[in-house]
Amino acid sequence: MGIDEVQLNFNESTLFLMNVLIGFIMFGVALDLTVQDFKRTLKSPRPFIIGLTAQFILLPAFTFLLVLLLQPRPSIALGMFLVAACPGGNLSNFLAHLSKGRTTLSISMSAVSTLLAIIMTPLNTLMWGSFYGPTNDLLRSFMISPADLITTIVILLGIPLTLGMLVNKRFPEWSKKASKWMKRFSIGFFILFVIGALANNFEYFIDYVGMVVFAVFLHNLLAIIIGYSSARSFGLPERDRRAIAIEISIQNSGLGLILVFNFFGGLGGMAIVAAWWSILHIIAGLTIASFWSRRPPAAESEGNAA
């Protein structure tokens, strides 16, 4: 059986727990958000607009070109389109801080991109998937309803974010303590999330992960390059370049994984792409953040020299 025919099996209770877990993670992210994070973008919109353009326009478009170049199996290609359409992941703010990037920019991008994902994730997935013949055939076979897809994303992202921000506003001291706890354990939660997704289907993951390793590596590298290069081409300072590069490369692949099981029947290539991205982007993000953490941004270096 080929990867396009494999469907990872999930019972309803396990799928429900996965939905609750990602909602819990998003709630924890929102505990660190305030309305000021959104207002901040209005005071300095240029880097924010550049970052979101790279997130929702450049990355999906270049993913399409990468798919044309690699011509992977249709389910793998559709998984790449889906991951590219997801918003920034919940670890991006921590990694932006570690890399000495502008953390406030990362926070603003994460918050707003998550809200925009309610529309942009289904739009980009369905649009770019329909442009590529093999994935268009897959989309037709599943008969995806955009309205149902948007509704699910509202439940998974919109409601937890709203509740988290309300709790932060009403109980700021508690939220501050809880947010620190959530940040410390977010990687662990995320790993448990991926393990839960693969637990009953591990043999499929082992059999087929080799087919996606190279494609996902190039895809993640492409995301980093797009983020950094787009910020550099518009003359943004080094701290903004690092924040945008991290934000674009740390996709919310957990959301992608949930959508694969909710709407694509656990389609093998899609699920394995999202699962492997979930592992790889943590490794790649920590590696590049650790590298940058030992190298102060150019502006800081010049200022110290002066």
* DSSP calls for 226-292: HHHHHHHHTT--HHHHHHHHHHHHSB-HHHHHHHHHHHSTTBHHHHHHHHHHHHHHHHHHHHHHHHH
CATH code of 193's domain: 1.20.1530.20
Q: Tell me the C-alpha distance between 47 and 14, whole Å.
A: 40
Does residue 50 have a pLDDT over 80? yes
Does residue 185 carry a pLDDT above 60?
A: yes
Domain span at residue 187 reads: 13-295
Higher pLDDT among residues 223 and 266, named by residue: 223
> Could you report the per-residue pLDDT of 228-271, keeping only the tens digit for each?
999 999 999 999 999 999 999 999 888 888 888 888 888 888 98
> Three-state secondary structure along 192-212?
HHHHHHHHHHHHHHHHHHHHC
* Tens digits of residue pLDDT in 76-129: 999 999 999 999 876 787 788 889 898 878 878 887 888 888 899 999 999 999
Position 2 in a domain? no
- 16: tokens are 């429900």
Structural domain count, the chain = 1
Whether 107 and 93 have beta carbons less than 8 Å apart is answered as yes
Strand (E) positions, the chain?
none
Within-domain flag for 5: no
Give strand pairing partners of 251: 88
Q: Quick check: 3 pLDDT over 50?
A: yes
Residue 304, in any domain of the structure: no
Asked whether residue 302 is assigned to any structural domain, the reply reads: no
Collapsing DSSP states into helix, strand and coil, what is residue 213?
helix
> Is 305 domain-assigned?
no
Q: What is the pTM of this model?
A: 0.83
Task: Give the whole-angstrom CA distance, residue 132 versus residue 81.
Answer: 10
Enter the tokens of residue 213.
């390793």
